[in-house]
Structure 1
Amino acid sequence: QRIIGADITMAFDECPPGTAEYDYARKSLDLTLRWLDRGWNHFNETEEKYGYRQSFFPIVQGCVYPDLRRKAAEYVAEKGADGNAIGGLAVGEPTDKMYEMIEIVNEILPTDKPRYLMGVGTPANILEAIERGVDMFDCVMPTRNGRNGMLFTKNGIMNMRNKKWATDFSPIEEDGASYVDTAYSRAYLRHLFISQELLALQIASIHNLAFYLWLVKEARKQILEGNFIPWKKSMIKRVTQRL
């Protein structure tokens, strides 16, 4: 990661499935923490290669077990890294368990360093995680789901393969966050999906990525204005409904 010039170098870890038994999760965490020590030491013993700062983020694992998550979070926090990641969630465990683990970990991780939730998630997941103190996210969902015809919008989820869109010539999303939202109609986008045209995948991916970026920018705005909690509640109702 040093050599390829990564801005953020991630610690090497093992991500057990969300349904892993306790003994497996414990052994897996011990392995992850040993790898963390080796990676952290090597990172600090090597120099930045290209004239700009490179950061190192440890990863908190521990599956769905509170004691393992606390152990990992305490160990990670002691490193004093530029930021910290929360891994091993949204991998098969119930959603309420994911939120519980985020709360446990974020009670321990320092508040003055970015908290990065790896591989999450739906718009609702992101808003719930922000409320629980998460700062950064990554996820394949905007593009993967987009390529399969699912569009996330401010008013709900659209399956563009559904016949109901065949004669709907209104914009994809009237007040959408991307140029594609008003450049193409819902009927045309459905036609592209049904015809298996690659342009459909591109339009849907651009739309979803723009929506996700709008969502987190708007969340930041609402936090600064002191309105995040009521806004979040109303947004979750909107973005989770099927159109």
Structure 2
Amino acid sequence: MKFLRVKFNVQHTDPKSDARAGVITTGHGTIETPIFMPVGTQGAVKAVHMTELENDIHAQIILGNTYHLYLRPGLEILEKAGGLHRFNSWDRPILTDSGGFQVFSLAENRKLSEEGAEFRSHIDGSKHFFSPEKVMDIQRSIGADILMAFDECCPGDADYAYAEQSLKLTERWLDRCVKRFRETEPKYGYEQSLFPIVQGCVYPDLRIRAAEKIAAIGADGNAIGGLAVGEPTEKMYEMIEIVNGVLPKDKPRYLMGVGTPANLLEAIERGVDMFDCIMPTRNGRNGQLFTRYGTMNMRNQKWESDFSPIDPEGTSFVDTLYSKAYLRHLFKADEILGLQIASIHNLSFYLWLVKEARLHIQAGDFTVWKDKMVRQMSNRL
């Protein structure tokens, strides 16, 4: 088998919006876009088996996280295993976040400089240092198909002066990431691709500047970061429109860490192709289920004697196998199975949603369908 770097082919465009349906090709298979990527921070999607991800949820790509995988199991173990794909038995594409968001969320335990970020492990307090070069080397060792550049994730409420200085640092780090990526080789016999990240907070001129620099690099794909971090939702949508007006149309666009089902559809309408978020699994473990008709809190008493299926129109086996009453019982009894069922349901719903978006883009009626779905999904059942 000949392994390739990421390639992207736009197959359909929506006549009334910037939504598009395409195919991403990687060394570990193809990905139909728009796509949602379940988050497997530490090499595992919480409470979900790889076989369920593949056969029931129909995930086409998952995420790992550089910061967490670097701390444990560590690079020595990952390299001995032959990379993350072999270590976690996932033979489809993997994307690794650079760890920038995790490092910078450790505000009291990290020190930022031109060279990189010094931080203390959240596990044992040990001291570590990430430079752009080291982050590239770590992701080479992890072996993901798509690597993310090391950046500073600017808070959504940052003032202009901070956001500008943060962007300048991110741009200098990006130059070093690109240089290191180009002078190193993959370790496991297949190609890898580097995606730069557009930052700039909520300031249009900074976002445009960042997107123009990144577009000029000519990477295999590009990401939009620093959104859904405290800014108003409408401001997030505005930044997506601005950035996608600059980023090349023939490369996949990845909106990092977003978001609700409605967020996904609004971003698809604005030309985004790839998404990830912990929301379906995190909220699921807390009893919240997403459906096409709205959200359900499975801890509520209203489900106590409701023996109807969890979701009669759901796409997962759990939706018709178990009742609402049984799932509520599992949550009230703190049974782990409840967390598993809810996580499988939510991930299945997210993957169904982006697949339906793709079908409606192909059919040419995406915007009409999207508006209806956004209204429906806002209900509390």
Fold equivalence (TM over 0.5): yes
Q: C-alpha root-mean-square deviation of aligned residues, in Å?
A: 0.5
The whole-number CA distance in structure 2 between the counterparts of 1:163 and 1:17 is 38
Taking the aligned partners of 2:164 and 2:190, their CA distance within structure 1 comes to 37
| Partner of residue 211, structure 1 | 349
Alignment equivalent of 1:9, drawn from 144, 147, 162: 147
Counterpart residue number, 1:70:
208
Mapped pair 1:94 → 2:250: no
CA distance in 2, matches of 1:222, 1:214: 12
- Structure with bigger helix share is 1
Pick from 224, 235, 239 the counterpart of residue 373 of structure 2. 235
Match of 1:166 in 2: 304
Residues 144-200 of structure 1: CA deviation (Å, up to 9, x unaligned): 000000000011100001110001100000010100000100000001111111111
Greater RCO structure (CA 8 Å; 6+ sep): 2
| Counterpart Cα distance in 2 of 1:232 and 1:136 | 17
Q: Does 1:30 align with 2:184?
A: no
In percent, how many aligned pairs have the same letter? 73
Aligned position for 1:189 = 327
Corresponding residue to 1:140 among 278, 283, 296: 278
The one-letter amino acid paired with 2:350 is Y
Partner deviation per Cα, 1:36-69 (whole Å, 9 max, x = no partner): 0000011011112211110000000000000000
Return 5+ residue gaps in structure 2 as ranges.
1-138
Give the unaligned 5+ runs of structure 1: none
Q: CA deviation at 1:17?
A: 1.0
State the shift of 1:3 in Å: 1.3
The aligned amino acid for 1:145 is N
How far, CA to CA, are the matches of 2:196 and 2:223 in structure 1? Answer: 6
Partners in 2 of 1:50 and 1:83 — Cα distance?
21
- Residue type of the partner of 1:242? R
**Amino acid of the residue matched to residue 96 of structure 1?**
E
With the length of structure 2 as denominator, give the TM-score of the two structures: 0.63
Is the aligned partner of 1:152 residue 2:290?
Answer: yes
Give the 4+ runs in structure 1 shifted more than 3 A. Answer: none
CA offset digits 1:122-145 (Å, max 9, x no partner): 000000000000000000000000
Aligned length: 243
Deviations 1:223-242 (Å, cap 9, x if unpaired)?
00101000000000111111
- Does residue 42 of structure 1 match 2:180? yes
Secondary structure of the residue aligned to 2:337 is: helix
Q: Does 1:112 align with 2:250?
A: yes
Q: Match of 1:122?
A: 260
The 1-side partners of 2:188 and 2:292 are apart by 41
Equivalents in 2 of 1:171, 1:149: separation in Å?
A: 16
In structure 2, distance between residues paired with 1:51 and 1:224: 35
**Which amino acid in the other structure matches residue 58 of structure 1?**
P
Take 1:43 and 1:16, find their aligned partners in 2: how far apart are those partners? 24
Of 216, 219, 223 in structure 2, the residue corresponding to residue 81 of structure 1 is: 219
What is the alpha-carbon distance in structure 2 between the residues aligned to residue 118 and residue 162 of structure 1? Answer: 32
Name the amino acid aligned to 2:273.
D
